[in-house]
Structure 1
Amino acid sequence: MTGWAVAAQAASSEQMPDRLRLGVVVAADETARERVEPFRLAMEDIVDLPVDLFLLDTLGDAIESLVEGKVDYVRLSPSAYAAAHRICGCVEPLVTAGPDDFPARFYAILVSKRGPQNTSLEDLKGTRLAVGNKHAVAAYRVPLANLAADGVNARSHFQTLVEVQNPVEGLKAILDGRVQAALAWSSLAGEAKNGFTAGTLNDYYVSGAKGFSDLEIVWRSPPIPYSAHAVAKSLPDALKRRLRAGLMDLRREAPAAYLAIEPDLPGGFEPVVHADYRPVLRTYEDEYAKVLARD
């Protein structure tokens, strides 16, 4: 018997379900059932219960299934978690995954051209801001909502919002003078001179394009978890504690099982709570609806 199963037997005698229903978003992956089987088996070991696998086509299906009680556990994006919470308040995050050994968080950022002195948001008042499309989480929704939470309404602060194809294009637009600032994202981990470990600045640095040293970060959002392994809040607390503890050990105890569910974020799990998603939760709150609305 593994350490997980021993812990399961020692857990609280709170009434447990007969089985756990695991939802996995598969999109068009025809090999998904086989691919995630190591994770399903590890979950059975962690919870000491049968785990049934439900394959879901989209994040929208995942949100619906969790909210309607058709699954007990599913991996969501931060925005999908916020949407699920907005619908019912019946979900709870357990862990998030990271891309490396740095803290598993990223940031929405506002970038401008470097001046003789550090540029401030006030310096950028009345200028042009490059943004992503209305669905872009890190290049539109999160920064606009969190700038508003900081007292800066982007629609009135900036002369105009200029939609660009992607965040890297926004940086190019700064350097060629089309805009004076742009929204982007960054891990803000590692070395700034290399554009950090991941994000728009890193993409631009790696591309070898000119002007990287002329860019500076003017504003950053609060940290945002990369993912949300979420469960129904109604699950017994003892089972949720067991799940979180087992998931925290998963990369070390069963690396193949970990990579089966987080192939793009191999850095391991960290614990999270609902408040960690506050920067994204704001994007679904009525208070910020006007600043997020597109003309």
Structure 2
Amino acid sequence: MSRLKRCLLGICCMLPMLVWAEECKQPDVLRFVTVPKQPLALQYREFEPMRQHLEQRLGIPVETVAAHSYQAVIEGIVSGAVDLAEMGPASYIRARLRDPGIQPVASYRFVGGTYSPEGSYYNSILLVPAGSRLRQPEDLEGRAIALTDPDSTSGAVIPLTRFVAETGIALQEVASPLVYAGSHDQALKLLQAGQVEAAFVASREADDYIERGEAGADEWREIWRSPPIHYDPLVLSSRLCPAVAETLRDALLTPSPARNLLLQYKQALDIVAVSHADYRWLEPLIQP
């Protein structure tokens, strides 16, 4: 091979790396967002020590961005408007269908609670008041039922797919009415107020609600439970330059005082590495 050909071949091999280097994002401000499972002020307060830690590691400001729906978080990570997002599993799958380059890098391992086992998995559960006459899913006919958000894994996707497949009960047909509360906390509040007679929520969110003193451990009764679902992933934008992405991954997974505070505030045991394989089983349940 001539020297000219070798040079041309070398340039051609370097072009993809040059294009990546030109197109990847080296943010002046890194933006973090989370799906609204609980009051946003509470969620951002939990993340504040890690936000400050990320600022120190990256050497740039890190901002928390308010998002009032799961769809807004999906749009933010897909568009590149946000760089790091804590997403529900189904929200992550919906986003990945539009941008296969986004990366789930970390998730939580929690202590056990009233409804959740210890570990990295939770469940979609169907709750009714403890004194309710509803004993099984077949009793839902004509009842007011709460979901959370259309993009919530445990509060909508699983109830409208897996629950239907297991029980043969189409919620849209039997509920009177079927309402979207907007968040797990709001669904539980509707259940407490008697505005609905049953609610699908995440087991972990029900546990958190009880642990905050907003309900008693004996206030509800569970009448259906889904298969285990891996906890929410922290997801990186596909646009971030590799060095930024690696710094974020390392900061989330390496023990530090800020990480310990995040775990303390969330009442979690650990932050663990995850990959797409942990959430792939949800793909057939998600409509593009």
TM-score, length-scaled by structure 2:
0.57
The counterpart of 1:256, out of the listed 242, 255, 258, is 258
Match of 1:182, SS state, is strand
- 1:139, 1:273 → 2: CA distance? 23
Q: Give how far 1:285 is off.
A: 1.0
Match of 2:107, SS state, is strand
Q: Give how far 1:85 is off.
A: 1.6
Q: Give how far 1:147 is off.
A: 1.9
Counterpart code for 2:78: V
The counterpart of 1:187, out of the listed 200, 204, 229, is 204
Which residue number corresponds to residue 147 of structure 2? Answer: 132
After TM superposition, list the pairs within 5 Å mapping 1:240-279 onto structure 2. 244=249, 247-250=252-255, 254-257=256-259, 259=261, 263-264=265-266, 266-277=268-279
Which residue number corresponds to residue 107 of structure 1? Answer: 123
Aligned residues: 242
Which residue number corresponds to residue 170 of structure 1? Answer: 191
Spell out, residue by residue over 1:39-76, the C-alpha distance to the aligned partner (whole angstroms, 9 max, x if none): 3334x5xxxxxx644536334776555434566x4132
Spell out, residue by residue over 1:204-261, the C-alpha distance to the aligned partner (whole angstroms, 9 max, x if none): 996349765xx23323253241x322124577999978865663332xxx12255469
Match of 1:128, SS state, is coil
Change (3 A) 1:149 1:204: farther
The counterpart of 2:87, out of the listed 66, 77, 85, is 77
Which residue number corresponds to residue 207 of structure 2? Answer: 198
Which residue number corresponds to residue 223 of structure 1? Answer: 229
Which residue number corresponds to residue 37 of structure 1? Answer: 52
The counterpart of 1:67, out of the listed 75, 78, 83, is 78
Change (3 A) 1:80 1:211: closer
The counterpart of 1:95, out of the listed 106, 112, 118, is 106
Q: Give how far 1:94 is off.
A: 0.9
Match of 2:200, SS state, is strand
Task: Tell me, yes or no, if structure 1 residue 147 matches structure 2 residue 155.
Answer: no
- When the two chains are superposed, the root-mean-square deviation of aligned CA atoms in Å is 5.1
8 Å CA contact retained: 1:224, 1:279:
no
Spell out, residue by residue over 1:137-174, the C-alpha distance to the aligned partner (whole angstroms, 9 max, x if none): 34334422332454635236635344376225436749
TM-score, length-scaled by structure 1:
0.56
Match of 1:90, SS state, is coil
8 Å CA contact retained: 1:36, 1:261:
no
Q: Give how far 1:93 is off.
A: 0.3
Counterpart code for 2:156: Y
Match of 2:51, SS state, is helix
Counterpart code for 2:51: V
Spell out, residue by residue over 1:3-28, the C-alpha distance to the aligned partner (whole angstroms, 9 max, x if none): xxxxxxxxxxx999698644323988
Match of 1:95, SS state, is strand
8 Å CA contact retained: 1:20, 1:52:
no
Gaps of 5+ in 2: 1-16, 35-39, 113-117
8 Å CA contact retained: 2:33, 2:64:
yes
8 Å CA contact retained: 1:110, 1:217:
yes
